[in-house]
Chain A
Amino acid sequence: MSLHLQCLTALAPEIIVIAAALLVLLADLAIMRGKPFAERTPWIGALAFLGCVAAMIWLALMPCSFQGAMLSVSPLTQWLKTPLLLLALFAIVLSWRARFTRHTGEYFALLLLAAAGLMLLVSSDNLLLIFIALELLSISLYALAAFDKGSLASSEAALKYLLFGGVSAAFTLFGISLIYGVTGDIQLDVIAARLRGHAFEPVFYAALVMTLVGFAFKLAAAPFHLWAPDVYEGAPTPVAAFIASGSKVAGFFVLARILLTAFPGARGAVCAGDFLPGWAPVLAVLAALSMVVGNAAAIVQTNVKRLLAYSAIAHAGYALPALLAGERNALPALLFYTITYAFTVLGAFAVVGVMEESGRGATLADFAGLSRRAPLLSFCMLVFMLSLAGIPPLAGFFGKFCVFTAVLAAPPALGLLWLVALGIAASVVSLYYYLQVVKQIYARQPDPSVSWPRPARSVQAAIALLAAMVIALGCNPDLLLGKLAELLQSPPF
């Protein structure tokens, strides 16, 4: 097979998704144009849905391993695209009956393009291609965040997201250019080879910090988190759900890939009595700040979307230490954590979306007495909240457990105890605000004068499925951990 063909085969899932995006646009423009809006959305949505399913089928049937042409496709990265596509699928289902836009074709096409960006992000080992994938993802998301044209908050969210995202992209790009200046290459493994045996110059550290700052923006880690609450609150709920879930999984994975492949020698150390400059101290500080700031700010929130935004910042703080867990343990813990977190937070946003569809707001008081009217929805929300708080036997607990055990075990053993203790203490604080939501749902009396949510069957099924996944992955983490262990037998990147 020629290199081009190989390259195209390796990229086939991305190509399928992008083709589906174009098809969605075309169908909307050519066939569905005259149809009434209520008829158009389900058909276009179904087409987008089928595109994702086709890509998943391809991934399941065609195992692929390929290195070269800026790509590095391993069994792990191929597998990782399945959860990413699943997240996109759920976002599509949640948008099925979306009433916030009439531009259905563009909406679903952008959603698919964002998904393609996510997939490309995890399969590249070249800083330039990583940057391009990041921009494909980001620009799609900026536009998606603005899709609720009737709402000022949505425009504000999109503008904020664009400005912050633009600045962070500039940081990343500047960092990359400095790295290129120091090492003369943008291929991750070549960078590592060039750096080996050399003393690190100050400009290299500047480059490293710039790149990390860019990613910290994307992952909403404090102190670069300021965009997150406004975007989560203002963006249309399915979009917010996708931003909160998909970009976390892919973002953390690619950050791990960059740091572990290109800069293993510049790790540094942050243990008590053993401090070395490098990326580890930067990450540890980001993690600690995110845990503290996210949890402290979440306590006083009254809007559930903002609460989820601050909790997302805190969760970025819990996940970041996983990168410090050492080569072998970092990836399973990180992936288990981010994937389960993504499904949980997607479910939570879906429930909020249902509340908004019914004409209520997303404040805590709007949830009062929900359990009397929608027991299934309430139970699912309970599962999501408790999983985020880290109550066993739900997936969120085991995710944290995995990450923290791996971090403690990283040599020198117990060196990062301070960070783990801080993380666990922070999750005690977090129980308070998650219980605030739960308390409204179960303990408060419902207001009889307001309307009650009647979610579509598909949305309800999606939420129930997500809750079932959270419970199943918590009760039997081996479902996911076993798969990850199997995939990690071959080199991860």
Chain B
Amino acid sequence: MLAWTIYISFLGAAVLMFLPGNNPRPARWAALLAALAGLACAAAGAVACREHAAAEALTDAVNAPWIGALGIRYHLAADGISLTLVLLTGIAAVAGVLFSWNVENRTREFFALYLALIGGVYGVFLSVDVFLLFVFYELAIIPKYFLIVIWGSTRREYGAMKLALYSFAGSAMVLVGLMAAFVVAGARSFDLVDLARYPYPAAFQNWAFPLVFFGFAILAGLWPFHTWAPTGHVAAPTAASMLLAGVVMKLGAYGALRVAMTLFPIGLHTWQNTIALLAVVGIVYGALVALVQQDFKFVIGYSSVSHMGFVLLGLMTLTQIGLAGAVLQMFSHGIIAGLLFAVVGRMVYDRTHTRDLAALQPMNLRQALPFAAVTFVVGCAASMGLPGFSGFIAELQVLVGAWQVFPVFAALAAAGILAGIAYTLRVLLKSFFAENDASPRDLPPLPPITLPERAGALLLLGATLVVGLWPQLLLQFITPALNSPLMLPLWKGGLR
């Protein structure tokens, strides 16, 4: 069932490519249909997994030989962690289509590339063969590039190229590390489970781990390799920035966890403190930089760097609660960042054609776009980590985990949360709730919020609320997966 998420997305992309005519309407509906079908498959897979209590071990979806000469297999499987992220991808994909309803220029190609990106993302989350994982990982780079360079806005060619080169550089590091691991293990296959069984020498792990980890973490926005993220987000069209922040950054974090950390546990322990430090710097730095941005989208872009810092910090705690928090934070940030980018890019920018906070100030947006204002307030509340939203439980778990291992970092990260509240309130004030004397009649009327936008906003708000109020919904998948045999070296490697 889960494997169909990939096929449906790529099939949708192919159908859109060959759809006749330039009418945008059938393209939109086809894309929505494919995204919904993907979400349905993901949900069905999750339900099936829950019924069979199969979240612990990797459950095979497909396992077939692919490239015999190197023992590479087409092996898809899911455990609780991948399930969570597949669900996130499904929700983000549907919301992204809804928020791209107004794309009129080359609509078919837009949605074809969009679905190809989604397919690649699903593929990464479901691959167990690391070669296959790598193929899907790279497959996602090219659609990203096109989405930004064709449909983007501010400095799109620069932003797109920077994003493509950063991603490709990261994956090149991963590739070197993986090939070296394959050779050192003398392996006959690229299966993650097989590769993870081999006890790599400590000296090897100490350089291979950072190579693979940082290679993936570039895409997760780890400071100081995060600089592609704000420029990429700002240049990207709404749906692409939603996906970039929502799922693509998770690809990096997922790869770091699934590949780098499980393959090289000794290297992980060597580098644990360094990476945790970088993560904390990212949390604080991202929040502080977001505090002084004038571009509405840059604020959200830097906030993504800050929130992804929590994911990486959670991973580095190497405690059950910290890792569970990290995975939950991936889901939570995917939803919330998608929501915020949707408000900024679709609801505000597409109507006002500016993202300059100073220019937005006199527009009296809270009266012109009340639905956007409400959505943004709720989204900001979720982003600040207010109880009742998914961000709260995720960041709390990360902090608890971090407190047990490195209390100083935990305190700094908590300070980062404070800075997060500061920039969120600032941007809220400047964008929607600025004091001004202009009455609504003095301003050119803005087009009202459309139905697809409302539906997309409600979908994302619902997701963050449901998980916030009932975190067990996802934790029931995540927690058993952390106890799987694959993760065992993480706990046994030294700590707890």
Contact = CB atoms under 8 A, between A and B. Distances in A.
Q: Which 6 A-B pairs have the closest CB atoms?
A: A392-B135, A481-B69, A443-B149, A408-B183, A424-B172, A409-B183
A24 interface: no
Interface stretch (A33-41, A60-68, A131-139, A413-421): A413-421
A194 to B, nearest CB: 35
Given A391-B138, A477-B67, A482-B68, A420 B165 contact: no
B145 interface: yes
B140 to A, nearest CB: 11
Interface in B157-202: 157, 161, 164-165, 168-169, 172, 175-176, 179-180, 182-184
B378 interface: no
B386 interface: no
Nearest to B170: A428
Interface stretch (A102-110, A199-207, A359-367, A431-439): A431-439
Given A417-B180, A477-B69, 6 more contacts: A392-B135, A408-B180, A424-B172, A427-B172, A431-B168, A442-B149
- Of B139, B150, B165, B176, the most chain A CB neighbours within 10 A belong to B176
A404 to B, nearest CB: 6
Contact of A421 (B66, B69, B164, B176): B176
Interface string B56-87: 00000000001111100000000000000000
A478 interface: yes
A56 B145 CA distance: 42
B100 to A, nearest CB: 18
Q: Report the interface size class on chain B.
A: 20 to 34
Interface string A432-473: 100100010011000000000000000000000000000000
A413 B68 contact: no
B168 A392 contact: no
A234 interface: no
Contacts of B134: 392
B145 A392 contact: no
B146 interface: yes
A391 B142 contact: yes
Contact of A482 (B66, B69, B164, B169): B69
Contacts of A69: none
Given A391-B141, A478-B69, A485-B69, A428 B183 contact: no
Contacts of B146: 442-443
Contacts of B180: 408, 414, 417
Interface of B: 66-70, 134-135, 138-139, 141-142, 145-146, 149-150, 157, 161, 164-165, 168-169, 172, 175-176, 179-180, 182-184
Given A391-B138, A481-B69, A408 B179 contact: yes
15 contacts: A386-B142, A391-B141, A391-B142, A397-B135, A405-B182, A408-B183, A409-B183, A413-B184, A417-B180, A420-B179, A428-B165, A431-B164, A432-B161, A439-B149, A482-B68
B179 A404 contact: yes
Contact of B157 (A386, A420, A425, A443): A443
Given A432-B161, A477-B67, A393 B139 contact: yes
Nearest to B186: A413
Contacts, number: 78
Contacts of B68: 478, 481-482
Contacts of A413: 183-184
A401 B157 CA distance: 29
A435 B164 contact: yes
Nearest to A389: B168
B138 A424 contact: no
Interface of A: 332, 386, 391-393, 397-398, 401-402, 404-405, 408-409, 413-414, 417, 420-421, 424-425, 427-428, 431-432, 435, 439, 442-443, 476-478, 481-482, 485
B122 to A, nearest CB: 15
A476 B67 CA distance: 7
Contacts of A409: 183
Nearest to B148: A443
Contacts of B157: 439, 443
A398 B165 CA distance: 20
Contacts of A432: 161, 165
Contacts of B179: 401, 404-405, 408, 420
B325 to A, nearest CB: 33
Contacts of B169: 428
Most interface-central of A420, A424, A427 (chain B CB within 10 A): A424
A153 B256 CA distance: 52
Contacts of B67: 398, 476-478, 481
Nearest to B207: A417
A189 to B, nearest CB: 28
Contacts of A421: 176
A428 B176 contact: no
A392 B138 CA distance: 7
A392 B183 contact: no
A334 to B, nearest CB: 14
A435 B184 contact: no
B183 A405 contact: yes
Contacts of A408: 179-180, 183
Contacts of B66: 476, 478
Contacts of B168: 428, 431
Contacts of A414: 180, 183-184
A417 B175 CA distance: 12
A152 B346 CA distance: 55
A414 B180 CA distance: 7
A332 B69 CA distance: 10
Contacts of A332: 69
Interface centre among B139, B146, B168 (most CB of A within 10 A): B168
Contacts of B164: 431, 435
A141 B104 CA distance: 51
Contacts of A405: 70, 179, 182-183
A388 to B, nearest CB: 13
A344 B165 CA distance: 22
A409 B186 CA distance: 8
Contacts of B161: 432, 435, 439
A65 B138 CA distance: 43
A442 B139 CA distance: 18
Contact of B150 (A442, A477, A481): A442
Contacts of B70: 402, 405
B22 to A, nearest CB: 11
B66 to A, nearest CB: 8
B152 to A, nearest CB: 9
Given A478-B69, A482-B69, A425 B145 contact: no
B489 to A, nearest CB: 22
Nearest to A336: B69
B464 to A, nearest CB: 34
A425 B183 contact: no
B284 to A, nearest CB: 30
B176 A420 contact: yes
B175 to A, nearest CB: 6
B135 to A, nearest CB: 4
Nearest to A400: B175
Nearest to B152: A443
Nearest to B137: A392
A402 B175 CA distance: 12
B198 to A, nearest CB: 13
A443 B146 CA distance: 8
Contacts of B69: 332, 477-478, 481-482, 485
A400 to B, nearest CB: 9
A359 B179 CA distance: 46
A404 B177 CA distance: 12
Nearest to B151: A443
A362 B69 CA distance: 39
A424 B164 CA distance: 15
A398 B131 CA distance: 11
B64 to A, nearest CB: 12
B215 to A, nearest CB: 11
B148 to A, nearest CB: 9
